[in-house]
Amino acid sequence: MAESPASRGLVLVVEDETAIAELIALYLRRDGFGVHVESDGEAALAAVRKLKPVAVVLDIGLSGSGSGGLPPGRVWGSHPQATLDGIEVCRTMRAAGDWTPVLFVTARDEEVDRLLGLELGADDYVTKPFSPRELAARVRTVLRRGAGSPQAEVLSAGAVRLDVARRRAWAGDREVVLTSTEFDLLAQLLRQPGRVFERGQLLSSVWGYHAEAGTRTVDVHIAQLRAKLGPDSPIRTVRGVGYAADAG
């Protein structure tokens, strides 16, 4: 489906159920976004490279996709029946250094895939059945987080530094690539060093909503931050409460 121009930029919707794709596209267009729709993973990756969307709404369970992927050594696109599911689309984007915000659309019984998607660098997710109005709001929230701040704000804790205006992060002398959600979660902790944030508080301030599986979402993103920051990570777990960043 061809894209339409809009003031807020182009969103790529990857969904193989036509009715759902059209509903998502309708609400995104009402919100001022241009929309391009694809129904399979390989076409989605080609659209990402060609169209440079501001965000990707990605269904995990694209039909015809196997959770096991291709046999070892097989290259995507080298076989006429090769099909990527949403997980593999996100994995391929991140492996190529593409950090376009990704919002997953999942079924309620796909918690394992949902959490795997977050671990791969997805920024958010909604579960089916969902409100298309809420999905459009989530896209706006993800893009606001990635837009950066006009203030020349630099946050630090120990060897970790964040340049808020430029959306860049360092651990010691090493620059660390963070998703927009990871960046804002870390910034939230660093702005009030030593303060213990409950998971619900982080959901509200960073994601802008409360979700059924929300506390697990926070845990996954914290784990990703710790893995990327390595031994320089200032994040401390307060058992039974939440997380804090030590000034160090």
- Give start-end residues of each CATH 1.10.10.10 domain in the chain: 154-245
What's the rounded mean pLDDT across residues 136-161? 77
Q: Are 162 and 168 in contact (CB under 8 A)?
A: yes
154-245 CATH pick, 1.10.8.60, 3.30.300.30, 1.10.10.10, 3.90.1150.10: 1.10.10.10
DSSP H or E segment with residue 229: helix 214-229
Cα separation of 34 and 4, whole Å? 5
| E strand spans, the chain | 10-14, 34-38, 55-59, 102-107, 124-128, 154-157, 160-163, 168-171, 174-176, 197-198, 235-238, 242-245
Residue 45 has pLDDT above 90, yes or no: yes
| E strand spans, 114-187 | 124-128, 154-157, 160-163, 168-171, 174-176
- At position 142, the amino acid (one-letter code) is V
How high does pLDDT run on average in the chain? Answer: 81
Tell me the whole-structure pTM to 2 decimals.
0.65
Place of tokens 């989530």: 138
Indicate the pLDDT class of residue 113, thresholds 50, 70 and 90: low
Q: Is the dihedral of CA 26, 27, 30, 32 positive or negative?
A: negative
What's the rounded mean pLDDT across residues 169-177? 93
Q: Report, at the CATH architecture level, how domain 10-146 is classified.
A: 3-Layer(aba) Sandwich (3.40)
- Give start-end residues of each CATH 3.40.50.2300 domain in the chain: 10-146
Instruction: Write down the pLDDT at residue 70.
Output: 36
Select the more confidently predicted residue: 24 or 4.
Answer: 24
What's the rounded mean pLDDT across residues 79-89? 68
Cα separation of 6 and 26, whole Å? 13
DSSP character at residue 16: S
